[in-house]
Amino acid sequence: VIGHPKYQESKRIAIFLSMPDEIQTEEIIKDIFKQGKECFIPRYKPHSNHMDMLKLSSAEDISSLTLTSWNILQPSDDDSVREEALAGGGLDLIFMPGLGFDKKGNRLGRGKGYYDTYLERCMKHPSGKPYTIALAFKEQICKSVPVTENDVQLDEILYEDC
């Protein structure tokens, strides 16, 4: 990931805070700050498909986040001081999680449509749609995954031995 050309050229990067069964992102987050890039993480709104990407001030800032009922760390609902990526300069790159992926760039998420809805919002931003890279285990690569007309295809899927 760290040597990837899109990562190297990106200044504003959104990345998920990994759950135990996902590719671990902690070292990537540390590198984002080490390289002087801006880091944004998801804040999911419960009972909806709305998600914002809020700015982290440092890798250590993660320890100030609250744990949701889904066991995901995220900025609290009343945190209004963090920049939302689309309120500023948009995003260059989004690292995306998922349950399964196919080699056509389709992604099976957890069913709420958060990332697809967010990417639709990105397409309306002056900076346009960011490059999307899924981080996956090779076991998550399937022949095909179910898609709907609202699903946004990934630009790339990174996994072991790809």
- Residues 36-54 have a mean pLDDT of 94
12 marked ligand binding residue: no
115 marked ligand binding residue: yes
60 marked ligand binding residue: no
pLDDT at 68 over 90: no
86 marked ligand binding residue: no
Nearest-5° Cα angle at 40, 39 to 46: 160
Give the chain's mean pLDDT: 94
108 marked ligand binding residue: yes
139 marked ligand binding residue: no
Most confident listed range (17-21, 135-139, 150-154): 135-139
110 marked ligand binding residue: yes
Q: Which CATH architecture has domain 5-158?
A: 3-Layer(aba) Sandwich (3.40)
Per-residue pLDDT tens digits for 94-123: 999 999 999 999 999 887 899 999 999 999
Using 50, 70 and 90 to split pLDDT, how confident is the model at 26? Answer: very high
Quickly count: other Cβ atoms within 10 Å of residue 58's Cβ.
12
44 marked ligand binding residue: no
pLDDT at 162 over 80: no
Using 50, 70 and 90 to split pLDDT, how confident is the model at 80? Answer: confident
118 marked ligand binding residue: no
Residue 22 makes CB contacts below 8 A (sequence gap 6+) with 16, 97, 135
Through-space distance between the first and last CA atoms of the chain, rounded to whole angstroms? 12
Alpha-carbon distance 42 to 114, whole Å?
Answer: 9
- Mind giving me the DSSP string for 80-113? -SSPBGGGTT--SEEEE--SEEETTS-EE-SSS-
Torsion angle (degrees, nearest 10) of CA 119, 35, 33, 12 = -20
112 marked ligand binding residue: yes
Residue 148 half-sphere exposure, CB side, CA atoms within 13 Å? 8
- Residues 39-49 have a mean pLDDT of 92
90 marked ligand binding residue: no
Domain ranges of the chain: 5-158
